[in-house]
A and B are shown apart, each in its own frame.
Chain A
Amino acid sequence: MATQAAHKEQPLLSVQDLKIKIQMESGIMNAVDGVDFNIYKGKTLGLVGESGCGKSLTSRSIISINPKECETSGTITYNSESESALNGLNLLSLKPTGKQIRSIRGRKISMIFQEPMTAFSPMYTIGNQIMEAIRTHQTKDKKEAKRIALEMLSKVGISDQAKRFDQYPHEFSGGMRQRAMISMALSCNPEILIADEPTTALDVTIQAQVLELMKSLQAEFGMAILLVTHDLGIIAEMCDEVAVMYLGKIVEQAPVKEIFNNPKHPYTKGLLRSMPRLGGNKSKRLDSIEGSVPMPINMPPMCGFYDRCKDRIEGVCNAQSAPKITISDEHTVRCFLYADQREGEVQ
């Protein structure tokens, strides 16, 4: 794959042909339909898409926390840097409740969620819960665990940690809880951090704080981040590479500048055009994408964006699913419009 050729190093995590099917009353829903991407050390991959496109399911399948109804296939290869025993492990082959995935979850790959309230138990203090995470994976020593927990709290910018340590989740504000969750997620120094809409529930000024925090922590710890979001602004600020998802497929994948400056897929173009931006023309009509996202239930093989696409080619786009086409070394797109460039552009 061209996207990977650009990176010389081995990816930390490689997702290949991930498919998630959900049995519905009205048929089988292909919630995620053949997703490939790689995550590299110290880099941030953004997974962007609208609600229902499968981005959350994709990210959750990495640490096997999807509900039972999700039938998952494909491979997710994890190449641990620090532990050779975990090198080349297919995470999907592990039992979702088994010991091995649990030893990876939270220690090697952590996750932060949109609503930090659900990640903490209301019955225990924040400090207690962070300590618990450290003690399960890192050290059995209580004092040492507390020291690490306090250090982590100060790292995420929580002042007065000693007092905060003994407070309960409800005594924290939304932004503070998100910080606490990040500190818990990073307490075991994971290699990969999955952030699922980490700032969607927060106010803009607090969102700015949390994003800044994530960036500085990445610079310090060097972990890879998989950032799942619907906000292109956050993508532009945080990511090195972007994968745009639509209806369970990655329709376009490229480095962040390439996506914003040279988008290829009609959906990506439409998204970029339709979002209002600061400094944009006031009272200008927005270019919207017509129609709405269909349900991927019993879909015939065709481009999922066909109904809403302005550049659709009848008889082609609705006859088979779009192939992955390489635009340049690091840029791939799933669209028939570029099918003829395949030979010309790739050497």
Chain B
Amino acid sequence: MTKPILEVLKLNKSFQVKSDKALFKKPKPVHILNDISFELLEGETLSIVGESGCGKTTLGRCIVRGVNASSGSVVYHAEDEKAVDYLKLDRKGIKAYRKDIQMIFQDPYSSLSPRMNVFDIIAEPLIANFKLSKDEVEAKVTEIAEKTGLNVGYLKRYPHAFSGGQRQRIAIARALITQPRLIVCDEAVSALDVSIQAQIINLLKDLQEQYKITYIFISHDLSIVQNISDRVAVMHLGRIVELASTESLFGHPQHPYTEALMSAVPQPNPEFKKERIILEGEVPNPANPPSGCHFHPRCAYKTEKCIQEVPELREVGYNHFAACHYAEKLQLRGVPIESAELQVN
């Protein structure tokens, strides 16, 4: 079995939100992440899906220490088999590992500094982490640029001269240049057009194969997630409600929320008239979450127990985890892989 590269243990993140009503009232904490735990295996792609406000972006940023988590740990298994808690490292300690964990952002317009040319943008992490001569830097940047499909002749240009898809390639090149072992992709293709999206997804897959990179792929788009990931974690209001292999999760979802999410995705197939589960109501506000199972106000299968007790994330099948009191009893509909494949002439 493959080794774990990252272990996330009881990760919590809460913000203090000042009440606008009372000046001297104690600020109320809003829990964005609630006891998130999972294991990430080397070389796999773990997707994290959920709707806006579910905490998936915060989770990604906590892992790379873009923001600081409130509690919990992220144990990183370095190449030399040493395990370190990535969140507890101080400024000097983290220096040795920054190069191993990188991130790709959603918006290719805001994630590239408009004041640096493409060469400098790509070279920045390299210069920050390694002591290299000018020639070495140039050779490395050129190599990565070629690998990510950028025109090497364009490296002296500024980001504003590039389209969204090209910019995302630049961002990927920047993340890749330190030869990281783990890349967190935060909605990395969401801002792109369909035809460009496919290019970037393919690129990410090729790079993974070539460099044995592990991905945490954060997305709201189930179709992309299904295409790219080995395992999927579904998040709802700061908690993981289901975690399983892609086949198992899409084929046999064990949480009503997963079932509803899948059913809501519009299918690009006019013949495919399925019965859609329309969730009632709104995504609840994390500042004021519902009691018991956070999903119960929108759940079709809820009982009294769901309103009162918070379900634990537990193993309900082989390597299939779900946080639902009735996971075993419910017969939920999934989308068996390959069945709805459409032939295009």
Contacts A280-B341, A285-B202 known; A204 to B51 CB distance under 8 Å? yes
Interface locus among B13-21, B27-35, B67-75, B259-267 = B259-267
Residues of A within 8 A of B267 (CB): 233, 236-237, 277-278
Residues of B within 8 A of A279 (CB): 226, 250, 335-341
Q: Does A209 have its Cβ within 8 Å of any Cβ on chain B?
A: yes
Of the A-B pairs whose beta carbons lie under 8 Å apart in the complex, a sample of 28, sorted by A's number, is A203-B220, A204-B220, A205-B279, A206-B282, A208-B266, A208-B278, A233-B265, A233-B266, A236-B267, A236-B272, A260-B270, A275-B194, A276-B201, A276-B226, A277-B267, A279-B335, A279-B337, A279-B341, A280-B227, A280-B337, A282-B226, A286-B201, A286-B227, A288-B202, A289-B198, A292-B165, A292-B166, A293-B193
Residues of A within 8 A of B246 (CB): 282
> Which of B52, B165, B265, B278 has a CB less than 8 Å from the CB of A278?
B265
Contact flags A45-78 to B (C-beta < 8 A → 1, else 0): 0000011000000000000000000000000000
Q: How far is the CB of A5 from the nearest CB of chain B, in Å?
A: 22
Residues of A within 8 A of B113 (CB): none
Contacts A233-B267, A279-B336, A279-B340 known; A274 to B198 CB distance under 8 Å? yes
A284:B227 contact, CB within 8 angstroms: yes
Q: Does A17 have its Cβ within 8 Å of any Cβ on chain B?
A: no
Residues of B within 8 A of A236 (CB): 266-270, 272
Interface locus among A111-119, A183-191, A262-270 = A262-270
Q: How far is the CB of A105 from the nearest CB of chain B, in Å?
A: 29
Q: How long is the Cα–Cα vector from A270 to B193 in the complex, in angstroms?
A: 13
Q: How long is the Cα–Cα vector from A275 to B227 in the complex, in angstroms?
A: 10
B344:A209 contact, CB within 8 angstroms: no
Contact flags A205-234 to B (C-beta < 8 A → 1, else 0): 111110110000000000000000011111
Q: How long is the Cα–Cα vector from A205 to B220 in the complex, in angstroms?
A: 11
B165:A280 contact, CB within 8 angstroms: no
B194:A274 contact, CB within 8 angstroms: yes
Q: How long is the Cα–Cα vector from A208 to B263 in the complex, in angstroms?
A: 9
B264:A207 contact, CB within 8 angstroms: yes
Q: Does B345 have its Cβ within 8 Å of any Cβ on chain A?
A: yes
Residues of A within 8 A of B308 (CB): none
Q: How long is the Cα–Cα vector from A221 to B269 in the complex, in angstroms?
A: 26
A207, A256, A262, A277 pick with most chain B CB within 10 angstroms: A277
Contacts A276-B223, A280-B340, A281-B341 known; A292 to B163 CB distance under 8 Å? yes
Q: Does B247 have its Cβ within 8 Å of any Cβ on chain A?
A: yes
Contact flags A128-171 to B (C-beta < 8 A → 1, else 0): 00000000000000000000000000000000000000000000
Chain A residue with the shortest CB-CB distance to B266: A233
Q: Does B316 have its Cβ within 8 Å of any Cβ on chain A?
A: no
Q: Does B111 have its Cβ within 8 Å of any Cβ on chain A?
A: no
Q: Does B195 have its Cβ within 8 Å of any Cβ on chain A?
A: yes
Q: Does A89 have its Cβ within 8 Å of any Cβ on chain B?
A: no
Chain B residue with the shortest CB-CB distance to A275: B194
Residues of B within 8 A of A233 (CB): 223, 265-268
A262:B265 contact, CB within 8 angstroms: no
Residues of B within 8 A of A203 (CB): 51-52, 220, 283
Q: Does A176 have its Cβ within 8 Å of any Cβ on chain B?
A: yes
A204:B268 contact, CB within 8 angstroms: no
Residues of A within 8 A of B201 (CB): 276, 286, 288
Residues of A within 8 A of B194 (CB): 50, 230, 232, 271, 274-275
Q: Does B80 have its Cβ within 8 Å of any Cβ on chain A?
A: no
Task: List the 4 closest pairs (A to B, CB-CB), nearest first.
Answer: A233-B266, A279-B340, A288-B198, A274-B198
Q: Does B196 have its Cβ within 8 Å of any Cβ on chain A?
A: yes
Contact flags B158-199 to A (C-beta < 8 A → 1, else 0): 000001011000000000000000000000000001111111
B268:A235 contact, CB within 8 angstroms: yes
B193, B198, B266, B269 pick with most chain A CB within 10 angstroms: B266
> Which of B52, B224, B262, B298 has a CB less than 8 Å from the CB of A276?
B224
Q: Does A95 have its Cβ within 8 Å of any Cβ on chain B?
A: no
Instruction: Find residues 213-272 in chain B having any chain A CB closer than 8 Å to their own CB.
Output: 220, 222-224, 226-229, 246-247, 250, 260-272
Residues of B within 8 A of A232 (CB): 194, 268
Q: Does A86 have its Cβ within 8 Å of any Cβ on chain B?
A: no
A212, A231, A234, A293 pick with most chain B CB within 10 angstroms: A293
A269:B345 contact, CB within 8 angstroms: yes
A285:B205 contact, CB within 8 angstroms: yes
Q: How far is the CB of B104 from the nearest CB of chain A, in Å?
A: 18
B264:A205 contact, CB within 8 angstroms: yes
> Which of A204, A206, A270, A274 has a CB less than 8 Å from the CB of B197?
A274
Contacts A205-B283, A262-B345, A276-B223 known; A50 to B337 CB distance under 8 Å? no
Chain B residue with the shortest CB-CB distance to A208: B264
Residues of B within 8 A of A209 (CB): 278-279
Q: How long is the Cα–Cα vector from A207 to B276 in the complex, in angstroms?
A: 12
Q: How long is the Cα–Cα vector from A290 to B264 in the complex, in angstroms?
A: 30
Q: Does A297 have its Cβ within 8 Å of any Cβ on chain B?
A: no
> Which of A237, A274, A286 has a CB less than 8 Å from the CB of B266?
A237
B268:A288 contact, CB within 8 angstroms: no
Chain B residue with the shortest CB-CB distance to A268: B344
Q: Does B342 have its Cβ within 8 Å of any Cβ on chain A?
A: yes
Residues of A within 8 A of B340 (CB): 277-280
Chain B residue with the shortest CB-CB distance to A48: B194
A287:B337 contact, CB within 8 angstroms: no
